[in-house]
Every structure is written in C-alpha cells, then in structure tokens.
Structure 1
Amino acid sequence: MNILVVKANNRPASEAVSSKMYETFMNNLEGVNVSTYDVFEEDMPYFGQDLFNAFGKVESGEEMTDVEKRILAAKQKAMDALTEADVVVFAFPLWNLTIPAKLQTFIDYVYQAGYSFKYDENGQLVGLLKDKKFIVLSARGGIYSTPEAAPLEMAANYIKNISGGVFGMEIIDEVIIEGHAAMPDQAEKIIAEGLEKVAAAAKNLSAVTA
C-alpha cells in the first residue's frame, strides 16, 4: 500500500496542532510505503495564466519562460504523487475559514478533466479516482461542529467535497481537533484526545497491510 501524506502547515508542531497531527500520524505508521508531499516545501507557482500560457507553448513549440516551466513541472509532480497513492492523507489547519493557499494550489494542480474527473454523455460529473481512499486530519481553534457554525467551515468540507464528490475517492477516516483556542482551559485535553484518534487512524491503516 502506498500512502501519500499531503502536509499543509509549515508551523512547528510545538505551535500548530495540525502539524502535531501530522507528526503523530507518521510516528504511528508501520509496514506501509509512505511519502510526504509538503506543500510549503515544494516549488508551486500559483495556478493561473502562466499555466495556460505554458499549455499553449507546449502545443506551438514556443520557448517557455522560467515560471511556465516551473508550473508545468510542479503540476506534473503533484499528479504523479497522487497517481502512485492508494491512500491520500490530508493534514491541514483551518485558516480564515478555509484551507491554506498552498494546499489550494495542490488541489488546483490535480483537479483536471480527464485525470481526476470527467463528464458523462449526460453532462454529469464522474470521478476518475475511485480506486483511491483518503483520510482527513484537520485542526481548528474554534468550534465549527455546531449547526450554527458548520456552514462557515470551508476547509475539511472543501477537501471532502473535492476528494470524494469530484474525484470519487472514498473517505475512510476523519479526525478533527477543534475548540482548543476557544476553550484554552480544556486545550490540553482536547488536543490529547484528538491525537489519540490520529494515532488510531494510522494504526488502523497499518493493520490493513499486515
């Protein structure tokens, strides 16, 4: 089994709960092939006109600029990493109600018609990555699991909608740690209990390959 962990927080684990979740998950994996795609370490130009210019120049044979070469290479690297994975683990924080921009760029790179999805003869979207599974590991300092706040949460929901709803991947686990900033007197307990669930998620995955 090949595990791809998409790490989307460059803050140290001593300061960021989602980074601590990443470390806990990695430390509890056994007997699997695992690789990390760190979106803050990769060279990932933002998705935009540079990419479309690069596509055009590939077809015309024109010389590409440095940024056009970089974005084509980065997009291909992200797609190759996803292609090789049986299970994708997303480890990320909720920042300003959504995912970090670097994680958004990774999603933009692999969100491609003919690769991760297509449209059928009736114009309906069909996921093309149904052979893959995914896990969500996310931290948020506030409380967004209440009916009132849930519609504001656009990080874990976004990743699940894209990976499951668009790409067709199957979610097999989800660990959300929330409320540690809103309730500092309970933060240590909240984080500890959440990390136990992260460790269990890793061990469950390891057990599948045993």
Structure 2
Amino acid sequence: MTNVLVVKANNRPDGVSTKMYETFMAEAAKVEGLNITTFDVFEENLPYFGQELFNAFGKAQAGEELSEIQAASLAAFNKSREALSAAEVVVFAFPLWNLTIPAALQSFIDYTYGAGYSFKYDENGNLVSLMNDKKYIVLSARGGIYSTPETAPMEMAATYVHNVIGGVYGMEKLEEVVIEGHNADPANADAIITAGLEKVQAAVQKLAQIAVK
C-alpha cells in the first residue's frame, strides 16, 4: 500500500481547487493499493504558529499545565508532523488567494517546517533536505493568469509550495496541475475547468503507477 496524504486547503464548496480535490479523491478511489488520508487544514482549525507553541514546549518539558491555546498549538504541531511523516506521497490542493496560499495552509507548513525534522544543517551550515524519500503533487487553481513572464513573479502560492516542499523538504515532484484564467475569461471558464479536471484524473493515473510497483 502507498500512503497518500491529501492536504485540502480550500473551504469554499464551489472553489475550483475544491473541485480538483473532489476529482482527485473520486479518481483515486478507483485505484488499488492506495491508502488515502485527508488533512483538511480548515477543519483542523490550526492555531497560528508562534510563541504559544514554544511556551508549550517549555511547560511540557517541565511537567507544567498548559493553557488551552498552548495545548491546541502542541496538538496541531504533533498531528501535522505525524500526518506528514506517515505519508509516502503528499497531495496539496489549494487556491491562489491574494497572490499567496490560504493562511490555514501556511499554518500546516509552519508546523512541519523545522530543522531536525524536514531539513537539517550540515557541518558547513548548508541546508540538507530530510524528506527525499517522499513525493508530492500540486493541484492549484487561480482565477487570473499567472503563467506569463509578466505575471509569474506575482504568483506566490504554487511557487511557494514548490520552494518549501520540493526545495527545503526535498520531496520529488510527481505532478502539478494548475487551473488558471477561469475568472479572467468567463466565457471559456467551463472549458478551462473541465480541461483542468481531466488533468487531475491523469495525475491520479501517474500515482497509480507508483502504487503497483
């Protein structure tokens, strides 16, 4: 069995990246050999990463009672890392909101981004990735067009995920599907979305090839 973690990062029922998530899940259900778990970053209601977590570390080590927010922060830290550690393939389904990723997805990344866990530093101070044995898939949607030379520098959602998950954590990119321009070109929105969802289905088939190895 291949353990697949799907990180769902859109709580809008009609969101295009939500449709990408739903399409992926429906298609993946047809594939044998996949053990699929969803980590919905909105449903998890992760506290923002910050000092409360560090206070929780100190209190837990000293055996002291944690406040409610400290306990929630520590639980979010543990659950996020446990989910990521158990996965062989991680699928990120998210939109571009205000040029970047949703804050809830940022929280998940903040909890899993850490020296000694997802990367380390060698004796010369160079970053060494620690998750080279994992693969990842990006499913992202953006209503505007951010794939031109003029607009690409403004896109900080998929680019950020690649920089962190592929660059820092060292996971191998298995596939990327981006649906874009459906808001900029409403007359062709249905065709744009349909074509993108077909690519999501094709991405599952690439994952299926891993499952049978």
Which category describes the TM-score, using the shorter chain as reference length?
over 0.9
Q: Which residue of 2 aligns with 1:164?
A: 166
* 1:47-196 to 2 correspondences below 5 Å: 47-196=49-198
What residue identity is the alignment partner of 2:8?
A: K
Residues 43 and 70 of structure 1 are in contact (CA less than 8 Å); yes or no, is this contact kept in structure 2?
Answer: no
Q: 2-side partners of 1:170 and 1:204: how far apart?
A: 13
Query: Displacement of 1:62 after TM fit?
Result: 1.9
> What's the TM-score once normalised by structure 1's chain length?
0.97
Residues 135 and 171 of structure 2 are in contact (CA less than 8 Å); yes or no, is this contact kept in structure 1?
Answer: yes
Q: Which residue of 2 aligns with 1:3?
A: 4
Is 2:11 the counterpart of 1:16? Answer: no
What residue identity is the alignment partner of 2:74?
A: L
Between stretches 91-100 and 63-72, larger displacement belongs to 63-72
Residues 134 and 172 of structure 1 are in contact (CA less than 8 Å); yes or no, is this contact kept in structure 2?
Answer: yes
Residues 93 and 138 of structure 2 are in contact (CA less than 8 Å); yes or no, is this contact kept in structure 1?
Answer: yes
Aligned partner of residue 95 in structure 1, secondary structure: coil
Aligned partner of residue 40 in structure 1, secondary structure: helix
Aligned partner of residue 174 in structure 1, secondary structure: strand
Q: Which residue of 1 aligns with 2:24?
A: 25
Q: 1-side partners of 2:162 and 2:112: how far apart?
A: 15
Aligned partner of residue 176 in structure 2, secondary structure: strand
Aligned pair count reads 208
What residue identity is the alignment partner of 1:72?
A: L
What residue identity is the alignment partner of 2:203?
A: A
What residue identity is the alignment partner of 1:159?
A: V
Structure 2 residue runs of 5 or longer lacking an equivalent are none
Residues 45 and 104 of structure 2 are in contact (CA less than 8 Å); yes or no, is this contact kept in structure 1?
Answer: no
Q: 1-side partners of 2:51 and 2:211: how far apart?
A: 43
Q: 1-side partners of 2:45 and 2:145: how far apart?
A: 33
RMSD across aligned positions (CA): 0.8
Aligned partner of residue 41 in structure 1, secondary structure: helix
Query: Displacement of 1:22 after TM fit?
Result: 0.2
Q: 1-side partners of 2:160 and 2:114: how far apart?
A: 17
Query: Displacement of 1:153 after TM fit?
Result: 0.3
Among all aligned residue pairs of Structure 1 and Structure 2, give the percentage whose two residues are the same amino acid.
Answer: 64
Query: Displacement of 1:56 after TM fit?
Result: 1.3
Query: Displacement of 1:60 after TM fit?
Result: 2.2
Q: Which residue of 1 aligns with 2:43?
A: 41
Residues 140 and 179 of structure 1 are in contact (CA less than 8 Å); yes or no, is this contact kept in structure 2?
Answer: yes
Aligned partner of residue 43 in structure 2, secondary structure: coil
Q: 2-side partners of 1:18 and 1:199: how far apart?
A: 14
Q: 2-side partners of 1:128 and 1:208: how far apart?
A: 21
Structure 1 residue runs of 5 or longer lacking an equivalent are none
